[in-house]
Structure 1
Amino acid sequence: MPVVDFESDPPLDILSFAGSIKKLIDEQKYQFTLLGLLIGNLTLGIFGTPVFRSAIVGQLRLELHDYYFEDDGFAEINSKTSHENEIFEEFLTMMENCFSFAIYKGYPIPIFRMLYTVPLEYAILVRARHPFALRTIFVYCCICIFGGFYMLRNSNMWMDYVRFHLIHFGPLGALENSVYYYMENKRRVNFDNFAASMQEFDSMVAYMTQHEEIRV
């Protein structure tokens, strides 16, 4: 199953699967049933203020602000763009929370779980090829690859999307360049020291982005 299905209607992809899980979570998380308790356990720790502030997410927040406010100015903001901005802000909050929770736990599963905590409209924006949505899903897939959430390094849904993105949605921006370069060269997180390895990944990608050191 691909991360994003741009062609089918209805789409058959990880984003639609995650959306179905999110709907189930939203319906059951406040119910005192066995399913509600299981869902509560799955999401425990993901929500709330992160204990680790992600430099990558911080960079994405700056780019989100620039995307909506720097070029067009506040006069161009309307209800549509304001709603899109809210969707991306929530996406970035969930990304930071789940990244932090993965570091705290010492394994990558919370990063994958992030997809069923983000707004349902996010998938619509990705499939519509919204530039910032494409940027975030590319960065997310690179994080999943570096985090080791796969069976085969060169044959998995994350890498499939990254390759598709490189062909169809280039050229890459500074952050995309940096996260892709680091992921390709460092290959995978050090599972013997997961937290430190992920934190180094986060800080180095942000540093390379800010200094525009990499071009793919």
Structure 2
Amino acid sequence: MTDAESRADGDDETALDRILEASPSRLGVGRSGRRPRTASVLSFRADHARARDAVLTRVSEETIERAGLHKITSRVSDQDEYLARPDLGREISDATVTELREACIHAPDVQLVVCDGLSSTAVDANVGDLLPILIDGLEERGFTVGTPLFVEFGRVDVMDAIGEELEAEIVVNLIGERPGLNTAKSLSAYLVYGPERGKPTAKKSVISNIHPDGLPAIEAGAQIVELVATMHEQQGSGLDLE
């Protein structure tokens, strides 16, 4: 091998090291003959199992109680129905409507909602840190904050039904993102101004990738508060924002 070839090989190794440091993707894992290495296969299976668990397990009661969340459910009755009928996860029953009107603050500036979504792990991992920061930040800005809610088997658009019934100006929905093989702890914050049933996704704003290795809870809380203030000022969300 010539000196030039040796330098080129060295440069390639250095470049691969830099890529591996910068990316969580499964790169440079190597092979053993025609098959992946045992360690790579086991790592993949473990990450896949964590992703499945995030979807199929429920948010812990301890998380809900510690966060001071009032628990309600969507129209979904169980996990199988939740996965098969997304439409039911976007709505609440008449009994739940009555419960909201009797137990919750009416017409708040900001209604906070937490949904399990597609990752209970994300809710367990982030809400305990994020929610207090969010409430404190909103109240410091002078917003009235509604009774924080946890919706079991909730989809994103359940925020519209809740906000409409409580006549909230703005709703913030903290919901578990669909888990990937890199992390099952990622949370999203969806925000809507003037919530009403049937409001299109384009009229909603979103801050995503909230997790310890992505957007930290403290920073996410600050960003959400700033976005709420902008929505309040411009009286819109999503594509309605300048």
Could you state the TM-score of these two structures normalised by the residue count of structure 1? 0.30
Could you state the TM-score of these two structures normalised by the residue count of structure 2? 0.28
Structure with the largest fraction of helix: 1
Structure with the largest fraction of strand: 2
Structure with higher RCO (Cα < 8 A, 6+ apart): 1
Which protein shows a greater Rg?
Answer: 2
